[in-house]
Structure 1
Amino acid sequence: MSEILKRLSEQGVSIWLDDISRERLRTGNLESLIREKSVVGVTSNPTIFASALSKGDAYDTQLHDLKVRGVDLEEAVRAITTYDIRWAADVLKPVYDATRGVDGRVSIEVDPRLARDTDKTVAEARALWWMVDRPNLFIKIPATVEGLPAIAQAISEGISVNVTLIFSLERYRAVMEAWLTGLERAKANGLDLSGIESVASFFVSRVDGEIDKRLDKIGTPEALQLRGKAAVANARLAFAAFEDVTNSPRWQALAAAGARPQRPLWASTGTKNPEYPDTLYVDDLVTAGTVNTMPEKTLNAVADHSKITGDTVRPFYEQAWNTMAALKEVGIDYDDVVRFLEEDGVAKFEASWTELLSTVATELKKA
C-alpha cells in the first residue's frame, strides 16, 4: 500500500478515483487501487465513458446485443453506462459496508442537457436510481439555479446525490440549503435519514485556470503574484461555510435524527498549469471530513511525492480571505468569474455528453 496515500486517508480525506471503464473493472484494476492506493470511491462523467468505449474490446458484446435488439441511441448509452456503474458499485460494496455507507460510492450523472430543467432532472435522477439499483450510488446533479430544487426533491425521496459543478461560495451555500431542505422533507416523509448520503463537488483547478488568465491580462506585479492562489483560497472558504452550516441548530436537529453531513468534495484536482506542483490541489486541501476525487495521473503523483503534513484548510481561513480581498483589489470580478465558469461548465458537460452519444453511435455501427 502507498504510505503517502494511507497518510492522506488517515487525515480524514476520502480518496476517490475520477475514472471508470469496463476494462478497469474486468481486469481487477479497481480492486487493486482499493487495496494498494486507498481508493474508496469512484466518479464518472461522459468524457470518461467515451474514452473507455473507443479503446479495446470490453464493450463489444454488449454493443452487438444492443444493435441486434434495435435499442435507440440514448437508451443504449444508459444501458452501457449503468452496467459499468452497477459493476463498480458491487466492487466497492465491501468498502461501503466497512464504512457504514460513508464511502464505497460510485457516481453517475444525469444528462447534462437537462441542467436548466428541474422536472426533467428529477425524473432522470429517479430513473437512474432505479436502473442502477445499488445503495452505494450517487446521482450527480449540477448546482445550477434550476438544479437546486431538483437536489432537494431527490434527497427528499431518499436518493443520494453528488451535487456537481459548484464554483461560487454563494451557490455552495444555496446547495447546502437545498440539502437541508431535502433532509427535512425526507424526515417528514418518514424516511431513514442515515441511509441518505450526499457530497458537494466544489471545483478547484478551473478557478485558477480562469482567474490566472485574467491576472495575466491585468499584468501588474501585484496581480501576477496572485496567480495560482485563488482556487485553494476559494475551496478553503467553502469548507468554512460548510462548518458554519454543520454548527447550526438546524443541522444539529437533523443529525440527532440520524442524518449525515454533506461532505465537501474537491473536484477538478488535476493540476492544469505545468508551472504548479502536480499535487497542489491535494496537498493544500487536506482536512478531515472531505473527499478528493483524482484522475489516475494525480493519484499516482500523490502516491509518489505528495507532502502530507496535517490539516491545510482550517488553519488558513484568514489567509484565504486575504487572498480573495487582494484579488478584488487588483481588479478580479469574482462574481463574473464564477458565473462564467458555471456557464462554461454546463456547456462542456453538454459537449461531452454529445461526444458520448457520437461515440456510442459509431461503435454501434461497427458492432
Structure 2
Amino acid sequence: MTDALKRLSDEGVAIWLDDLSRKRITSGDLGELLDEQHVVGVTTNPTIFQKAISSGDGYEDQLTDLAARRVTVEEAVRMITTADVRDACDILRPLFDATGGRDGRVSIEVDPRLAHNTKATVAEAKQLAWLVDRPNAFIKIPATKAGLPAITEVIATGISVNVTLIFSLERYREVMDAYQAGLEKADAKGLDLKAIHSVASFFVSRVDTEIDKRLDELGTDAAKGLKGKAAVANARLAYQAYEQVTGADRWQKLAGRGANTQRPLWASTGVKDPAYPDTLYVTELVAPNTVNTMPEATLQATDDHGEITGDTVRGTYEQSQAELDALAEAGISYDDVVQVLEDEGVEKFASSWNDLLASTEAELARRAPKEA
C-alpha cells in the first residue's frame, strides 16, 4: 500500500477499480490490487465488458460451451458477464464482510438499451441480482427519468443499487430522493434497512470535455480562463447537496431505522485532456464518505505521484458556484450540457452493448458444432 493511496483512504475515500476482465480475475491481478493498492471495490459497465470479451483472453472455453448449447447471443453475454462479476464478488467478499457491506462491492449494469423503460429496468435488475447471486453485487441503474422510479422499486425489494450516469445537480437530488423513497417502501415491508446499500455515481471528466469544447468554440481569453474548472466545481456542489440531504429530517428518520448513506461515487475520473494533471479528479475531490472509482492508469498515477493534502471539497462551495455562474455568464448552458452528456452516456453504453453482442455472436458462430 503506497502512502498516497493510504492517505486517500484515511481521508474517507473508498478506492474502487473501474475495470474487470477474466484475465484480471484468474491471473491474481485483482487480488494484488486489493492487497497492495488499497482497492476495496470494482465497477463495470458495458464498455468495459465489450473490451474485455472482445480481447478473447480467458473466455474461449466458456464460449465453446455456450456455442455447443446453441444459446442465444443475449444469454451468452449475460452468462459471461455475470460469471466475471460473481467471481470478482467472491474475491472481494472478505472486504464486504469486514466493512458490513459498505465496500467489497462489484457493480454490474442493466442492459443500457432499457434506460428509458422503467418496468424493463426493474425486471432486468431483479434478474441480474438472481443470476449473480452474491450479496456484495451492486446492480447499476442509469439516472434517466425512467430510471428514477426503477431505483425506488429495486431498492424497495432489498436489492442494493449503484445509480450511474449522473451529471446534473438537479438529477442527483432526484436520485437521492428516489433512494429514500425506496428505503421507505422497504421499511414498510419490514425489510432490514441495514442490508440495503447504494452509491450514486456522479460523472466528472466528461463534464470538462463537453464544456471545454464549448469554451474553445467561444474562443475568447475569458472563455479559455474557465477551462478545466467545471467538472470539479460540479462534483463539489454535488457533495454539498449530499450533506444537505443527509442532514435533513427525512434522512435522519431513515438513519434511525438503520439505513445506510448513499455515498457519492466519483466516476469517469480518468483525465481526458493531457493539459491537466492526471490525478486532477482524485486529488481535488477528497472528502469523507465518498468513493472514487478509477481506471487503472489513474490508480497508478495516484499511487506514483498523487498529492493528497486532506479534504479538498468542503469549504469550496461558494467558489464552485461562482465558477458555474461564470460559465453561464459566458453563454454556456449548464442544463443543455448535462442533458447532452446524459443522452450521449446512454447512447455510448448501448453502442458498446451492441458491439459486444455482435462480437460474441461471431465467436459463437465460429464455434458452432457442425450439423450431422
| TM-score grouping bracket, smaller chain normalisation | over 0.9
**Size of the alignment, in residue pairs?**
367
- Report the Cα distance in structure 1 between the residues aligned to 2:303 and 2:359, rounded to whole angstroms: 33
Unaligned runs of 5+ in 1: none
| Structure 1 residues 288-334: Cα deviation after superposition (integer angstroms, max 9, x where no partner) | 10000000011000000000000000121111011011111111110
Aligned to 1:174: 174
Equivalent residues of 2:96, 2:102 under 8 A apart: yes
Q: Percent identity?
A: 64
Q: Is residue 193 of structure 1 aligned with residue 168 of structure 2?
A: no
TM-superposed CA distance for 1:56, in Å, is 4.8
Equivalent residues of 2:22, 2:57 under 8 A apart: no
Equivalent residues of 1:265, 1:293 under 8 A apart: yes
Equivalent residues of 2:54, 2:356 under 8 A apart: no
Q: Secondary structure at the match of 2:308?
A: coil
Aligned to 2:208: 208
Aligned to 1:89: 89
TM-superposed CA distance for 1:51, in Å, is 1.5
Q: Alpha carbons of 1:271 and 1:244: their partners in 2 closer, same or farther (altered >3 Å)?
A: same
Aligned to 1:315: 315
- Report the Cα distance in structure 2 between the residues aligned to 1:111 and 1:65, rounded to whole angstroms: 23
TM-superposed CA distance for 1:355, in Å, is 1.1
Letter of the structure 1 residue corresponding to residue 135 of structure 2: P
TM-superposed CA distance for 1:364, in Å, is 1.6
Aligned to 2:79: 79
- Report the Cα distance in structure 2 between the residues aligned to 1:130 and 1:275, rounded to whole angstroms: 45
Q: Superposition RMSD on alpha carbons, in Å?
A: 0.8
- Report the Cα distance in structure 1 between the residues aligned to 2:180 and 2:249, rounded to whole angstroms: 12
Q: Is residue 145 of structure 1 aligned with residue 136 of structure 2?
A: no
Q: Secondary structure at the match of 2:293?
A: strand
- Report the Cα distance in structure 1 between the residues aligned to 2:56 and 2:361, rounded to whole angstroms: 16
Aligned to 2:370: none
Aligned to 1:329: 329
Aligned to 1:284: 284
Q: Is residue 2 of structure 1 aligned with residue 2 of structure 2?
A: yes
Letter of the structure 1 residue corresponding to residue 119 of structure 2: D
- Report the Cα distance in structure 2 between the residues aligned to 1:139 and 1:174, rounded to whole angstroms: 18
Q: Is residue 110 of structure 1 aligned with residue 110 of structure 2?
A: yes
Unaligned runs of 5+ in 2: 368-372
Aligned to 1:62: 62
Equivalent residues of 2:165, 2:342 under 8 A apart: yes
TM-score (norm 2): 0.98
Aligned to 2:101: 101
- Report the Cα distance in structure 2 between the residues aligned to 1:191 and 1:211, rounded to whole angstroms: 43
Q: Secondary structure at the match of 2:97?
A: helix
Equivalent residues of 2:122, 2:153 under 8 A apart: yes
- Report the Cα distance in structure 1 between the residues aligned to 2:89 and 2:185, rounded to whole angstroms: 27
In the TM superposition, structure 1's runs of 4+ consecutive aligned residues that sit over 4 Å from their partners are none
TM-superposed CA distance for 1:365, in Å, is 2.6
- Report the Cα distance in structure 2 between the residues aligned to 1:114 and 1:290, rounded to whole angstroms: 28
Q: Alpha carbons of 1:322 and 1:57: their partners in 2 closer, same or farther (altered >3 Å)?
A: closer
Q: Secondary structure at the match of 1:234?
A: helix
Letter of the structure 1 residue corresponding to residue 37 of structure 2: K
